[in-house]
Amino acid sequence: MRLSRTFWLATLACLLARVGQPAQAHGPDHEVIVALTAEIARNPGDPERLLHRGERYRSHGDLASARLDFQAALSNNPACHPARLRLALVARDQEKLPESLQLLDQTLAAQPTNLLARVARADVLIRSGRPGEAIPEYDRIIADSPQPRPDVFLSRSRTLLAHDTNAWARALEGVEDGIRRLGPVPSLQLHALELEERGGRVDAALARIDAIMAGMDRRERWLARRGDVLLAAGRTRDARTEYQRSLAALDRLPERLRRTIASEELRQELEAKLAVNPSGNQTSPSR
């Protein structure tokens, strides 16, 4: 049965997660590997069991064993695209980037809408120092997916900035597209705020903070963030007002919340900022 694109994206984080140093499988996974090894001995070359065991090995960082299983599955069935894709992921994690890219290109030649392969290809291009070539991959993923994950929009934005540090406006446009399609996802809203601050769009950044605060009961940190935006713009008097509002919001909290480490640290930060320029005179922007 053909799996949906939504399924492929939903499993993306698990399947593409980079594995660290090789580790020996243990516990239930070890038992599964032992059982699969016995089944493979009875059914040599079974692609499904080789894929299953290889994925178990890969999840534990035993890339050498995973490679052998995926190669065996592909050798027995050259049209086994899941084996080719997983072999590409192993090659990537072994820093064999040209091999990984070749395997991914072969997979996509047969399955152009395989979103896992496209995300992996973008990742390999970035690791190869070619972020500019990864951007169209993210464009294609977003275009082909009925419900893209927020992290795809974030990855595209960060790749754009890695390729061109002055591309904040284009990066912001892409994140805004994600917000229009997915709604006010917090990670996208926060990244959009960072981009607006980066571009010196003070009023837009303040408006976005206000939109974020609108649905929140606790606003002290966002009021402090408003102060930081205003201070960076040289509007010191306005920044002081926001810092004072943040302190007042802290004071209104129940005692159990006022006495947390996070609240105490915020209070110290605010008091330090207010002490720097007690007169509240407006200063010139620092950038």
CATH number assigned to the domain comprising residue 67: 1.25.40.10
CA distance 35 to 50: 12
CA distance 91 to 121: 12
The tens place of each residue's pLDDT in the chain, 287 residues long, gives 333 443 333 334 333 433 333 344 445 677 788 888 888 888 887 888 898 899 999 988 899 999 999 999 999 899 999 999 999 999 999 999 999 999 999 999 999 999 999 999 999 999 999 999 999 999 999 999 988 999 999 999 999 999 999 999 999 999 999 999 999 999 999 999 999 999 999 999 999 999 999 878 899 999 999 999 999 999 999 999 999 999 999 999 999 999 999 999 999 999 999 998 666 555 444 43
User: Do residue 211 and residue 253 come from a single domain?
Assistant: yes
User: Is residue 142 domain-resident?
Assistant: no
User: Is residue 285 domain-resident?
Assistant: yes
User: Is residue 34 domain-resident?
Assistant: yes
User: Do residue 125 and residue 20 come from a single domain?
Assistant: yes
Q: What is the phi/psi pair of residue 130, to 5°?
A: -125, 55
Residues in the chain: 287
Domain count, the chain: 3
User: Do residue 249 and residue 128 come from a single domain?
Assistant: no
User: Is residue 15 domain-resident?
Assistant: yes
DSSP 19: P
User: Do residue 13 and residue 129 come from a single domain?
Assistant: yes
Helix (H) and strand (E) counts in the chain: 17, 0
User: Do residue 6 and residue 107 come from a single domain?
Assistant: yes
Residue 209's nearest CA partner among 169, 173, 245 is 245
User: Do residue 153 and residue 41 come from a single domain?
Assistant: no
What pLDDT does residue 25 have? 45
Of 157, 178, 193, the residue that ends a domain is 193
User: Do residue 106 and residue 171 come from a single domain?
Assistant: no
User: Is residue 86 domain-resident?
Assistant: yes
User: Do residue 2 and residue 128 come from a single domain?
Assistant: yes
User: Do residue 1 and residue 133 come from a single domain?
Assistant: yes
Contacts of 194 (CB under 8 A, 6+ apart): none
User: Is residue 124 domain-resident?
Assistant: yes
The pTM is what? 0.75
User: Is residue 144 domain-resident?
Assistant: no
What pLDDT does residue 279 have? 62
User: Is residue 143 domain-resident?
Assistant: no
Contacts of 26 (CB under 8 A, 6+ apart): none
CA distance 224 to 236: 13
User: Do residue 174 and residue 222 come from a single domain?
Assistant: no
User: Do residue 75 and residue 23 come from a single domain?
Assistant: yes
User: Do residue 271 and residue 175 come from a single domain?
Assistant: no
Which residues form the domain of 286? 200-287
